[in-house]
Structures are given as C-alpha cells and as structure tokens.
Structure 1
Amino acid sequence: MRIVITVQHPGHVHFFRHPINELESRGHEVHVFARENDVAIDLLEAYGIDHEVLAAESDSLLSLAAVQATYETRLLRRVRRIGPDVIAAIGGVAAAHVATVLGTKSLVFYDTEHATLITKLAYPFADVICTPACYRETLDSGQERYPGYHELAYLHPDRFDPDPSVIEEAGLSPDDEFAVVRLSSWDASHDVGNGGFDDPRDVIDRLEAAGLQVLLTAEGTPPADLEPYQFTTPPECMHDLLAYADIVVSEGATTAAEAAVLGTPAVYVNPASLGYTAELEDEYGLLFGFDGADRHGRALEQIDAVVETSPGTWERRRARLLDDRIDVAAFVVRRIGTLARSHAANRSTPATGTSYR
C-alpha cells in the first residue's frame, strides 16, 4: 500500500508516529509531508520519521491562508507523483482537497467541534471522518465513531511508559511534588474571542502555597514575572512530566486531556468545552473544566480540591477509563489499511467498458 500522511501540528506527530512505524514495519510505503508549526518538525526529527516540509509557519491569522495555499499546492504536486491509496490527516483540509482532485481516498481524524472553519473546509471533501464516540456533532455522511481519544494513540499504556529520568533533567528530585502549568497563546483560528486565566500569577501562587513546585510551559512569551518558572525539556519528553506531575493546570485542551488519560488530574480553563473534555470530566472525573466570567476563581478553588485528594483516586479513575477505551493507534492502522486496500482493489479492477492506459 502507498500511504500519505500530512502533519500540521505537534499533536499530529504524536498521533501518527506509532501507526507510521507499524505500517512501515509491515512493508507499506508511507510518505509524510509537514508544515512548520511550533515544534512539529523537531518532533518528526526526534522520532526519526522521514518527512518533507512543504510550507513555513504562519505568524498570524492573516498569513495563515497564504501559507495553507502554498502547502496545498505543493502537496498536490508531490502526491500526484506518488499515486497513494489513501491520504490520512488530522483536520484534513489539505488532505481532503488533494485526494478529491486526484481521485484517491481521504481519511480524516478530528475531535474539535468548535473549529468550524476547518470542518467546513475539510468535511465535505473527506471520504471517511473518524471522530471519538463523544464527539458532539453528527455528520451527514462519512462519519465513523470510535471509543477513544486522540491522546490514546500515543499515551495508551501499550504505547507509552513514562521515563522517570526526565524529572531530574527538569531540575527536580524524584521526591518533589510538582505541577505543570500550560498557558496558551490564543492565536489559533478557533481561539478567536477566547481566553483563559485572568492572571496566571494567581495560579502559580496557589500551587506554591500548596507546597508544589511549578513548571511553566507557555506558547509565545509569558508575563515577565513568570519567566523564572519556565523550564526547558525536549518536546518528546513533555508527556513524561505530565505522567509524573501531581496536577496539570492548562489553558489548552490537548495538554489537559493528555494529563487526564495518564491519570494526572487536570484543571482546564478555556471557554471551549469539547466532547472529549466533557467526557473526561463527567464520566471519569480526571479533568475539571471552567469557563464563564468566574472561571478564574472557580479554577483556583478546584486546584485546592485536587491537591487535597488522595493520589489513589486518580489511579482508580484512570483504570476505569482504560477498561472502556481502545488503543487508538491500532484503530488508526486498521482504518488506514481497510481504506487503502479498498482503493487499491478498485484501481486494479477497471469498470466494464472502461479502458485504462
């Protein structure tokens, strides 16, 4: 099988890296094309994934359209030469468009209901759209639901075993209790009009008052008074820290969900409630989401409640989650294989009365 996978965000690298390795180990031909975004290229290189970068990173919403156009144009040229059986992507705007033009199959994975610009541009052109079972939208056609989350493609215990040495590399000792705080830049297309904490300094103070050391990671430049809390770790080691943290406080949904599926309680402050963040909260009690005018104060109170809860509580809740949910990487491999084989079979069997040269 010939497979194309597109990457436009660091999370896409994590999601596809195990499927890429499995497909290649089975002898299939996998081509990865990327657009620069945050540390996406660094991750591809860290994981040893062969790839080609087709476009630079956009520095504003205004430049995003031009960058996307360049990316799609170059992707079309590359994919036409490859002649793949399937193009797979998260979000899948470029993948769905290029597949439609070339008459190949597109397989889109997505979990973000409020990213309406992406869904309007991608969904009408996609052949199959795989969404978590908790995804709130029911699509007109092509939707396939599965019992899992994107994060379980790389953080399921069959795929991930945290490395304790990362704790010392971050400047902590194994006995230290610590929190990871993730601040967002709020410049993505689906972040317009949204915001998180009123003052992140209050979060740091509340965590330190509870006896926790604080590791801060921020998109963009954090407030000057918070710079001493910033830490540096290779991007591929971030999940190890999330696994060993006592609490994660995040303005980003992905980081909050990653912590939750690892069994680390996550306080999530963002006006955007998603199907998966709601399920991780309502069904499993591993994530606590806050929005509205009073989100800042209520989140600070929840930090206190989490710190006072026995660690065994989170372990039991995670165990129940893993009983209910699948290894998503294995699902991705199966779904790519099924769609690619279907396309390959159709391509090799011309319709009656049709001549192919």
Structure 2
Amino acid sequence: MKILIDILHPAHVHFFRNFIAEMKQRDHQLCITARQKDVTLELLREYGIEHIPISEIGKGKLNLGKELLTRNLKLIKICRQFRPDILLGVMGPSIATVGALLRIPRIVFYNNENAHATNWFVYPLANAVVTSSSYARKITGNHITYQGYHEYAYLHPRWFTPNLKTLAANGIDPKEKFILVRFVSWQASHDVGEKGLNDKVKLVQELEQFAKVYITSESNVPEELKKNVLLLQNKKDIFDIMSQAALIFGEGATMASEAALLGVPAVYVNSLQLGYLQEQERNYHLVYNFTNQEQGLQKAKELLQQKNLRKEHQQRLDTLRQEKIDVTQWMIDFVEKFSLPGTPKVDV
C-alpha cells in the first residue's frame, strides 16, 4: 500500500512516528509531507523521518487561507507523482480537499471539537473521521471511534519508557523537584477568540515558591522569564523530562493530556475546553481543567502541598491503562483493513 501522511504540527509527528516505522517494516511505501510550525521539522529530522516540507504556518485568518491554498497545490503535485492509495492526517484540511478532488481515499484523525473553521468542511469530505470515544460532539458522516487518546499513540508503555539520563543531559538535577509550565502561540485556527494565562510572570513567581520552574513555549516569553526557559538538547527529550515533573501547568491541551498519560498531575488553563481532557479529569482525576489563571493557580498550590501526590496519580494512571488501548496498533489494523465503500470492523 502507498500511504501519504500530511503533518501539520509537532504533536502530529509523535502521533504518526511509530505508525510510520511499523508500516515501513510491513513493506508499505510512505510519503510524508510537512508544515513548518514550531519544532515540527526538527522533530522529523531527530526521528530520522524523511519528509517534504510544503508550507509554513500563516499568521492570522488571511495568511492561514493563503497557506492552505499553497499547500493544496503542492500536495496535488506530490499526489500525482507518488500516486498514493490513501491519505492520512490529523485535522486534515489539505488531505480532505485534495483527496476529494483527486478521488483518493482519505482518513482524518482528530480530537478537537472546537476547530469549527476546519471541521465544517473537512469532515464531510473525509471517507472516515477517526476520534477518541471521548469526542464530545456529533460528527455527520463515517465517524469511527477508539478507546484511547491521540497521545497514547506514543506514550503507551509499549512505545515509551522514560530515560532518566536525559534530565542531566538537559541541565536538570534528577533529584530536584521541578514544575514544567507550557505557553502556546495562539496561532492555530481553533485558537481564534480563545484565551489562557493572563499574567505569566506572576504565575511563575507563585509556582517558584514550591519548586524550580522550567518553561517550554511556542512563542517568546517576557524578559523576566527567559532564565526559566528550558533549552532542550533534543526536542524529543521533552517526554523524559515531563515524566519526572512534580506538576505540569499551562495553556497547551496536548501537553496536559501527555502529562496525564505519564501519571503527572496537569493543570490546564484555557477557554478552549476539550472532550478528552474533560474525560481525563472526570474519569481519572489526572487533569484539572480551568478557564482562568487564578483558579488554576489555586488548584496547583493545593496539589503541590499534598503528600503522596505522585503515587496517587501513578495509581490513577494504572486504572486508565486498564481501560485504554494501544492507539498505534489500532491505527495499523484499521488502515490495513480500510476499504471503500464502508469501513472495516477492527478487533482490538
């Protein structure tokens, strides 16, 4: 099978990387197209994944629209050369439109119910829209669900074991207590009109009363906080570091879910509320969702003063692991059995 995967975001690299490796071992041919956003291309290089950059993220609605047009034109050319049997992607604005135009089957994976600007046209064009069972909106069309989360495609125990040597290599004392804070860029189409942290300096100062604070950010940070920015030796080292944090606090939904799947308490502050994070709070008490900084900060302080905090969250993670599947293996089975019209029933 010839498979084209379109990658738009750093998290998509992680989502697909094990799938890519496994499908190559099964003698499938793959073509990876990519978008320059944050550290996407750096991650692809670190993982040794051959790829074709075809666009750079636009800033603002107008430039995002221009980028989509440029991206689609380049993707059409690549599809005509590679002649894929199927197109895969997360969010999928380009694979949905190009696939429909060229009549190539397309599967869209997604986990964001609030990306209205893209979901309204992408979902009807997809042959299958694949989401976690936690997805909180009805999808018209061929909606396929699985018992897991996007982040479990790379943080399931089959695919990830923490390497504690990574901490020292990145200047972190493995014995020290530390908090990881995440800031986002607010450039995504689904970020329009949303908000998160309103006083980053105050936040970090308050958290520093409990532990060393490291910052990871998609955009520039205030001058006072530059000393806290975590300068990674390799971008892929972030999961080893996250796994040892006392707490993860931030605006990023993906990192909050990743923390949950590592058994690390996560405080998520963002007006954008998502089904998978709400489930991780409601069913497992691994994530704490808030829409304003003060409420989130108060919860963080409570957590940081609890005894056996890490042990309790690791026990909650054990419960989650009993109920959720290896998403990468599910993807392999689903894609290999996918056919038109209709979709297969995949036993996992």
Q: Normalising to structure 1: TM-score of the pair?
A: 0.92
**Counterpart-to-counterpart distance in 2, 1:60 and 1:101:** 26
**Counterpart-to-counterpart distance in 2, 1:103 and 1:83:** 11
CA contact (8 A) 2:3 2:31 kept: yes
Superimposed CA distance per residue, residues 205-227 of structure 1 (whole angstroms, 9 cap, x where no aligned partner): 222211x1111111211111111
1:185 is aligned with what amino acid? S
**Gaps in structure 1 of 5+ consecutive residues:** 345-357
| Partner secondary structure for residue 208 of structure 2 | helix
2:293 is aligned with what amino acid? H
**Gaps in structure 2 of 5+ consecutive residues:** 342-348
2:177 is aligned with what amino acid? E
Greater CA deviation, 30-39 or 16-25? Answer: 30-39
CA contact (8 A) 2:123 2:140 kept: no
CA contact (8 A) 2:55 2:67 kept: yes
| Partner secondary structure for residue 209 of structure 1 | coil
What percent identity do the matched residue pairs reach? 33
- The aligned counterpart of 2:315 is 316
- The aligned counterpart of 2:12 is 12
1:55 aligns with 2:55: yes
**Counterpart-to-counterpart distance in 1, 2:186 and 2:92:** 21
Deviation at 1:170, TM superposition (A): 2.6
- The aligned counterpart of 1:191 is 191
Q: How many residues align?
A: 338
| Partner secondary structure for residue 150 of structure 1 | coil
1:268 is aligned with what amino acid? Y
1:101 aligns with 2:101: yes
Greater CA deviation, 301-310 or 37-46? Answer: 301-310
CA contact (8 A) 2:59 2:187 kept: no
Pairing 1:35-184 to 2, within 5 Å after superposition: 35-184=35-184
CA contact (8 A) 2:124 2:140 kept: no
CA contact (8 A) 2:181 2:250 kept: yes
Structure number with greater Rg is 1
Deviation at 1:343, TM superposition (A): 5.5
**Counterpart-to-counterpart distance in 1, 2:12 and 2:300:** 30
Deviation at 1:245, TM superposition (A): 0.6
Greater CA deviation, 86-95 or 201-210? Answer: 201-210
2:36 is aligned with what amino acid? E
Consecutive aligned runs of 4 or more in structure 1 exceeding 6 Å deviation: none
**Counterpart-to-counterpart distance in 1, 2:197 and 2:73:** 39
**Counterpart-to-counterpart distance in 2, 1:186 and 1:104:** 32
- The aligned counterpart of 2:251 is 251
CA contact (8 A) 1:150 1:328 kept: yes
| Partner secondary structure for residue 134 of structure 2 | coil
Deviation at 1:60, TM superposition (A): 3.6
Superimposed CA distance per residue, residues 17-46 of structure 1 (whole angstroms, 9 cap, x where no aligned partner): 000000000111011111211111111111
**Counterpart-to-counterpart distance in 1, 2:57 and 2:271:** 26
CA contact (8 A) 2:262 2:317 kept: yes
**Counterpart-to-counterpart distance in 2, 1:140 and 1:218:** 35
**Counterpart-to-counterpart distance in 2, 1:200 and 1:57:** 25
- The aligned counterpart of 2:298 is 301
- The aligned counterpart of 1:201 is 201
1:332 aligns with 2:319: no
Deviation at 1:203, TM superposition (A): 2.0
Pairing 1:234-273 to 2, within 5 Å after superposition: 234-273=234-273
1:135 is aligned with what amino acid? Y
Deviation at 1:269, TM superposition (A): 0.3
| Partner secondary structure for residue 66 of structure 2 | helix
**Counterpart-to-counterpart distance in 2, 1:231 and 1:256:** 17
**Counterpart-to-counterpart distance in 2, 1:83 and 1:39:** 28
**Counterpart-to-counterpart distance in 2, 1:36 and 1:172:** 29
**Counterpart-to-counterpart distance in 2, 1:267 and 1:84:** 41
CA contact (8 A) 1:164 1:240 kept: yes
